Structure 1
Amino acid sequence: MERKYQIFVSSTYNDLKEERKNLQNNLFLSGYIPAGMEYFGARNQNVWEVIQNSIENSDIFVLVIAGRYGTIDQNCGIGYTEKEYNYAKEKNIPILAFIRSRDSIKATDYDDNPVRAKLENFIKRVENDYHVTFWNESTDLSTQVLTAIANLRNDRNNAESLMKGWVRWNPQIEVQVSEQTMLYYHVDIKVRGSVYDCERGRAVVSYTGSALVISPKDKCVYKDRVKAERGIQTIKFYPCVEITSQDEFDRSPGTTDYMIKSDTNKLFFNGEVVVNALLQRRSGGVALHIPYFAKYVSVTIDISEAKFIKEYNGLPYLSITKADSKTERTPVKNLQFYENTFTYILSVENVPSDSNLGFEWKSENNK
């Protein structure tokens, strides 16, 4: 049976409001059930009892720390974030810890002493207890959390006995995987370049993400192609990618076929592809190829360094390439745009194999 895992996000709130919103949205779009203070609502129960119940019912506890210690429980002198951490540890909930790099925090975003001393002592405890991942920006945080969750799920010695998940009741017999399937695929796309650069093929588009692929066979092999008419700058993957063919365009690779292999029927990978692209102001777009059937796909598209795109009616689409080479485009409805970060977030479920999930803009403006 397919399971949905509940992820409890623990952090201070006021200084990490946007980061929490981004992270929980990406968790939801990637097929998880996010839990945290935003979801408690008005209850008759004591607040701490509600928190304890939510942690107990979660499969993974994600701890996010920045420069604030947070609200302190006056009865015990410990902050609620640290209390949540202590309780998750007591209940043997798998814990993933993410600490913001100290040099990326403004001086005004730190607590004053003696509260800051509490924060530093808490951080030392966490670093002694668990492997810690450091993050800088909210987009980094989401990718790192999703990557860590996938790694934990793949670690059978740790996760399988501890993570129960939620299962939708279904009287039908469980359907076995009959072909290679992507359980989830999360990608952050960032577009960089002025109008001048974009129209001369010097836009830089980076694709950074992670995926979990399963196969009915003993070993899982993932194959895909990167194509960029203006050239591919870099292709980096973990596990290591094997380049199977490569074409040349203007002295740089324009089309690259690659393959990633696993020794089991599950393959988790993360990586980055950076390409140059010709993106005209009046029309253009970026696309993500989906080589296999994908149950959940979530994409963020950051145009904060190419803001002119917003002015030209950017729209998401799903193009499905059929055997007769004809293309059908289906609009993607679940799209959100965050004005403060100039970021689009879109998600789709049950994407057919050999599809392109894309984002394009077109304007009648001839300026």
Structure 2
Amino acid sequence: MERKYQIFVSSTYNDLKDERKNLQNNLFLSSYIPAGMEYFGARNQNVWGVIQNSIENSDIFVLVIAGRYGTIDQNCGISYTEKEYNYAKENNIPILVFIRNRDFIKATDYDDNPIRAKLENFINRVENDYHVTFWNESTDLSTQVLTAIANLRNDRNNSESLMRGWVRWNPQIEVQVSEQTMLYYHIDIKVRGSVYDCERGTAVVSYTGSALVTSPENKCIYKDRVKTERGIQSIKFYPSAEIVSQKEFNRNPNITDYKIKSDTSKLFFNGEVVVNALLQRRNGGVALHIPYFAKYVSVTIDISEAKFIKEYNGLPYLSFTKSDSKTERTPVKNLQFYENTFTYIFSAENIPSDSNLEFEWNSEK
């Protein structure tokens, strides 16, 4: 049975932004599920519970260190990077450590004392705890991380049986070989707007995420549609999307068909879609369209700027239209809510093509 392994990448962000992006892309293309700060926003005490959950559900913890120590949690006096490392160690998550050679760190990317002293103490701790791999450039880092992961999986003393992974395949669902498949799709949804905004149709909903798509053909072409009755504010993708068709509604596009092309049979993309939405208090919701069979989809919904939604006990559903044109709706069971960040997290596996993952609330209040 096929498994996909989740890799938690821990590091400082601003000085390693390009390196993280390159590493995340290579992990996706190597069929791993990367996790890290990109999926939680800026790290702080309010999202610590979400980070803990992600580390617990990861199979390997990758620590990348350069010249900065990182944001310090004032409650305990250590950086969030070191705090994540401690938590992974406490939970017996396999840890791989990569430290940048000092000759390849710019002077402007070093901390000043006394923060630099904290970094050196952290490095000494890590070097005493684990074997350390040194890297120079971004491409070196990605190659070394993938090699270390492969070695860890092949090491009999670190059997894959110790790593749970995510089971992707359900033999009850048949997928034609000719179909494209979404191996992994992660979306962060953020809802902004007061009750007044939501009921007037001026709420703002942003969908930000990444996906890995495979195709049996030599070239992979991803096609999808953005649809909202209240208008689309913006669509941004990397690689860039080709807009196929667009209709107008109240001077704003409300339906946009687009496609993203790859020169190979694999396509990794990330992007953001921002729309206006009508979200009534009594009943409302947000939806994510799944155009192809998806082995694993994870969704976070941030309602910190629309907290009233929590009062109406929203629930996630998977809906799709069957061959007899009837719509089937199935509740998604593994919903979690983090009170300190007003964030929902849920995931679903083996989703039929042309489905919708919906988060809905309904109240008689």
**TM-score exceeds 0.5:** yes
The letter for the 2-side match of 1:22 is V
Matched, 1:67 2:71: yes
Matched, 1:33 2:42: no
Q: 1:22 aligns with which of 42, 47, 50?
A: 50
> Residues 298 and 81 from structure 1, CA distance in 2 versus in 1: closer, same or farther, beyond 3 angstroms?
closer
Matched, 1:329 2:329: yes
SS of structure 1 residue aligned to 2:98: helix
Aligned to 1:243: 243
The letter for the 1-side match of 2:240 is C
Contact map agreement 2:8 2:54 (CA 8 A) in 1: no
Aligned to 1:343: 343
Take 2:180 and 2:56, find their aligned partners in 1: how far apart are those partners? 23
> Residues 221 and 152 from structure 1, CA distance in 2 versus in 1: closer, same or farther, beyond 3 angstroms?
farther
1:114 shift after superposition = 5.5
TM score, norm. by length of structure 1: 0.66
The letter for the 2-side match of 1:341 is T
Cα deviations across residues 29-87 of structure 1 (Å, max 9, x unaligned)? 7xx5254xxxxxxxxxxxxxxxxxxxxxxxx4456952349899xxxxx99969x9x97
Take 1:152 and 1:234, find their aligned partners in 2: how far apart are those partners? 35
Contact map agreement 2:185 2:298 (CA 8 A) in 1: yes
Contact map agreement 1:321 1:355 (CA 8 A) in 2: yes
1:292 shift after superposition = 0.6
Identify unmatched segments of 5+ residues in structure 1. Answer: 36-59, 73-77, 93-100, 103-110, 132-150
Aligned to 2:352: 352
1:313 shift after superposition = 1.9
Contact map agreement 2:8 2:55 (CA 8 A) in 1: no
The letter for the 2-side match of 1:258 is Y
SS of structure 2 residue aligned to 1:89: strand
Aligned to 2:278: 278
Contact map agreement 1:28 1:34 (CA 8 A) in 2: no
Identify unmatched segments of 5+ residues in structure 2. Answer: 13-42, 90-94, 101-108, 124-132, 154-159, 168-174
Aligned to 2:26: none
Take 1:296 and 1:243, find their aligned partners in 2: how far apart are those partners? 26
1:163 shift after superposition = 3.6
Query: How many residues get paired?
Result: 288
Take 1:87 and 1:285, find their aligned partners in 2: how far apart are those partners? 41
1:3 shift after superposition = 4.8
Contact map agreement 1:8 1:62 (CA 8 A) in 2: no
> Residues 310 and 89 from structure 1, CA distance in 2 versus in 1: closer, same or farther, beyond 3 angstroms?
closer
Matched, 1:88 2:100: no
SS of structure 2 residue aligned to 1:311: helix
SS of structure 2 residue aligned to 1:205: strand
> Residues 214 and 123 from structure 1, CA distance in 2 versus in 1: closer, same or farther, beyond 3 angstroms?
farther
Write the mapping of 1:1-367 to structure 2, written as runs, cut at 5 A: 2-5=2-5, 7=7, 19=47, 21-23=49-51, 25-26=53-54, 32-35=58-61, 60-61=62-63, 66-68=70-72, 88-89=97-98, 115-119=114-118, 129-131=136-138, 161-164=147-150, 165=153, 166=160, 178-365=178-365
Take 1:3 and 1:62, find their aligned partners in 2: how far apart are those partners? 25
